Amino acid sequence: MLKQLFIVPVELCLINKNTECNNHLWCSLFIPRVPVDWAHVSRLSPSEELELTFALKQQNVHQLEETLRLVSDPDSAQYGKYLSLEEVASLVRPSELTQKVVHHWLQSHGVTNCLTVHTQDFMQCTMSREVAEMLLPGSKFHRYIKDGHSLVRSSSPYSVHDDVHQHLDFVGGLHRFPPNRQDLSKAKKSSGKHTHLKAWLHLGVTPAILRQRYNLTAADVGSAQNNSQAVAQFLEQYYHPADLAEFMSMFGSSFKHMSKVDRVVGTQGGGKAGLEASLDVEYIMSTGANISTWVFTNPGRHESQEPFLQWMVLLSNMSDLPHVHTISYGDDEDSLSAAYMMRINTEFMKAGVRGISLLFASVCRNHANAMWRLFPPSPFVTTVGGTSFKNPFKVTYEVTDYISGGGFSNIFKMPDYQASAVDSYLKAVAASLPPQTYFNTSGRAYPDMAALSDNYWVVSNRVPIPWVSGTSASTPVVGGMLALINDQRLLKGLPALGFLNPRLYKLKGQALFDVTEGCHLGCLDEQVQGKGFCAAPSWDPVTGWGTPNYPALLAALLK
């Protein structure tokens, strides 16, 4: 959708196990910086309440990873034998000692208003500013405002006692500010009149164009009763039911579909609909047509709450979840702590062993002297890049969309399932790669696959809007197709696809349209001059294995 995604704030107040502050206190690594566009309003009064999230150390993380490998590998006897939420909780639940230490620490400071999750590895506690600053020495909570939105954050690092630090991964709700939304899309509003729009239907991507390109027929719609799909929305991005109904009336007449979201988890805000949220809902429901759809909307219940973290907590506390989740979310890996990302990586594993497919948009942004690295580049999610038609006004073959994100993680090592494919790419295009100092050839490479991401039609605030672009568009499209494949698997008594990547890479490009032309944006410096990675035959770090040929992909994944 947008040339840059709406980026969610992520907390990274992490405990430094190596640096002693003083008298048995251990400091956070993160030195908070207040962005210049967030205006300081006031220091919180001592009695004002805020909410903090405590991520307790988990057990058996290596066993969890091995379980995910087995249930996701089609060559394994354990393939598709997913765990229940209760089984996941039994595996990773923090030790009795960890729970006892953290609970005693909180209670000794008078913190008793806490909620936990089924897996008992997150606690969300409400306390006054005075208590929070005693609990976390060094923290100082202030209120900031930007564009009418208020946020409570600490302006300084915090510490915890050394008896506690070994039992926590991080504390959420202190430092992280939302990165700027940089709307680089070319979306333009039409007159809103349907008669005017008809002349432009061939001048942009609609559900009909997607179905034509990816070979979906009118019969390719959902029918299984136990199937569902979901999108997650952040930063006060909301869809409007009236927009969805209007979109389906305009673009959904050729296939059976639903015009209402079945379930909203969270609170839909008022005001205008968000273009991001409208796009996500309209295209997952028109591609994964006639499939029950949930919307997770996470504005945060309090100024100090962090929306993405709240979504992760929800996944740890709900036994019945959709099989496919798409997230148009991205942040800069270099701006986050490794310890925070490792914990979120574990949360993705917890979802995968339950048979949940998580799809994230692969975002592109410019940096000087280093290729921008997406978060989350987790080995346990499927990342989706973007393409455009060779001829933007005809249904032709696809080329790289320059906004498609791709590259290599500096935090997560390359998983075994992709090592051969990535090695082949690096050898084949060695002469044209950016300098090796710009990327980590041993890191997790992404994206894994792609879809059209350019020139979409969206209805938002009852107005048809053309030329909306970004991997925020391609991700729900791929998610909808995976939900359709799940539908057919469930009708045959097969388990849901779950974590897709091990099976996707075993296909070696079978059932996908290979994208071999174009490059994405790279670093804006004299040596690289904006050129990033380029597409090539088979897998590449711009479009992954390519875009879906739905009937062939369905046949391959029904085996």
Q: Which of 169, 246, 276, 487 is catalytic?
A: 276
pLDDT at 465: 95
**187 or 443: whose pLDDT is higher?**
443
**193 or 450: whose pLDDT is higher?**
450
| Residue spans per domain, the chain | 31-58+94-177, 201-558
The mean per-residue pLDDT over the stretch 37-66 comes to: 92
Cβ density class 491-523: b for 16+ within 10 Å, e for less: eeeeebbbbbbbbbbeeebebbbbbbebbbbbb
- Where helices occur in 353-491 by DSSP H, the ranges are 416-428, 471-491
198-218: pLDDT as tens digits: 323 347 999 999 999 999 999
pLDDT at 268: 79
**CATH, domain range 201-558:** 3.40.50.200
Is 472 known to be catalytic? Answer: yes
Q: How confident is the model at residue 189 (pLDDT cuts 50, 70, 90)?
A: very low
Q: How confident is the model at residue 306 (pLDDT cuts 50, 70, 90)?
A: low
Alpha-carbon distances of 16 from 56, 89, 147, 158, rounded to whole Å: 15, 27, 34, 10
Is 280 known to be catalytic? Answer: yes
Q: Which of 472, 474, 487, 540 is catalytic?
A: 472
pTM of the model: 0.88
pLDDT at 375: 62
Question: Are 326 and 356 within 8 A, CB to CB?
Answer: no
Q: How confident is the model at residue 236 (pLDDT cuts 50, 70, 90)?
A: low
Smallest CA-to-CA distance from 478 within 382, 373, 356, 364 is with 382
pLDDT at 331: 64
Is 156 known to be catalytic? Answer: no
pLDDT at 441: 92
Q: How confident is the model at residue 153 (pLDDT cuts 50, 70, 90)?
A: confident
pLDDT at 370: 45
**406 or 252: whose pLDDT is higher?**
252
Say if residue 374's pLDDT is above 50.
yes
The mean per-residue pLDDT over the stretch 392-398 comes to: 90
Q: Which of 11, 280, 331, 398 is catalytic?
A: 280
**273 or 227: whose pLDDT is higher?**
227
